[in-house]
Amino acid sequence: MAGRLRASVALPAHVLLELSWIPPITLKHMRANLVGVAIGKTHPLSPTLALSARAHALFGNITGPFTCPDDAVADATSQCFNGTRSSDRLEPNVFGADVALGWRRPLHNFSWYAGAGYSRLRPRFRVHFVDAQGVRDSTRVEVDLDRATFFAGGSRALDSWRFSLEAYAANRDGMTLRAGIDRAVK
């Protein structure tokens, strides 16, 4: 598990710029250097309703022994047995956009939102492994996927804490649930 540095900056005209970075720190032979960037604009439709649009991208790479970690190199039943620890590379290459409708009553502590979007995933994976016979495997896997995405969520504030829950789904891929707790900064 690695931490991700994240910053959001509110710009004029209801524009939000988001930046995130997983710095190149090696943990368990894995090293990530990923940068995420997003820009969004919210347009109030009424005192309780808002429409937002957002574009996002994730690029960089993760390197490490995905295909042949140390335990596979030591496992006599593995194709990695007596070879070298692999030095593989994944480049996620994700680009997308979405729109959402959100509702919040002024002076109340509950809000919800729902939306849909489109993501273009162009991940690239390269294997780098030498087996016990000295044969180098440099297999490349390139995938081009286009996915419709759907999401909905809500949050409730209690005192100075906010509790949130979100469901995010991509057609043909599944759904992710995310829960959060944060404290309001005064």
pLDDT tens sequence across 151-168: 999 998 888 888 999 999
Give yes or no for residue 129 having a pLDDT over 60: yes
Question: Could you count the other beta carbons within 10 Å of the beta carbon of residue 142?
Answer: 11
Q: Collapse the DSSP code of 23 into the 3-class scheme (helix H, G, I; strand E, B; otherwise coil) and give the result.
A: coil
Q: Collapse the DSSP code of 162 into the 3-class scheme (helix H, G, I; strand E, B; otherwise coil) and give the result.
A: strand
Encoded tokens for 3:
């931490």
DSSP state of 66: S
Query: What CATH number does the domain located at 5-183 have?
Result: 2.40.160
DSSP state of 73: H
Encoded tokens for 5:
């540095």
Q: Which of 25-29, 105-109, 127-131, 162-166 has the lowest mean pLDDT?
A: 105-109
Q: Distance between CA atoms of 80 and 84, rounded to whole angstroms?
A: 7
- pLDDT score, position 172: 81
Mean pLDDT calculated for residue range 136-159:
93
Backbone CA torsion sign across 66, 21, 180, 41? negative
Distance of CA 124 to the CA centre of its chain: 16
Q: Collapse the DSSP code of 72 into the 3-class scheme (helix H, G, I; strand E, B; otherwise coil) and give the result.
A: helix
- Asked whether 91 and 104 are in contact (CB, 8 A), the reply is no
- Give the phi and the psi of residue 70 in degrees, each rounded to 5: -55, -40
- pLDDT score, position 68: 94
Instruction: Give 181: exposed, middle or buried? Use CB within 10 Å, 0-12, 13-18, 19+.
Output: exposed
Give yes or no for residue 124 having a pLDDT over 90: yes
Going by pLDDT thresholds of 50, 70 and 90, the confidence category of residue 171 is confident
DSSP state of 17: E
Give yes or no for residue 77 having a pLDDT over 80: yes
- pLDDT score, position 184: 66
Report how far apart the first and last C-alpha atoms of the chain are (Å, whole number). 31
- pLDDT score, position 157: 86
Percent of the chain predicted with pLDDT > 90 = 80
pTM of the predicted model over 0.75: yes
- Asked whether 34 and 45 are in contact (CB, 8 A), the reply is no
Going by pLDDT thresholds of 50, 70 and 90, the confidence category of residue 185 is low
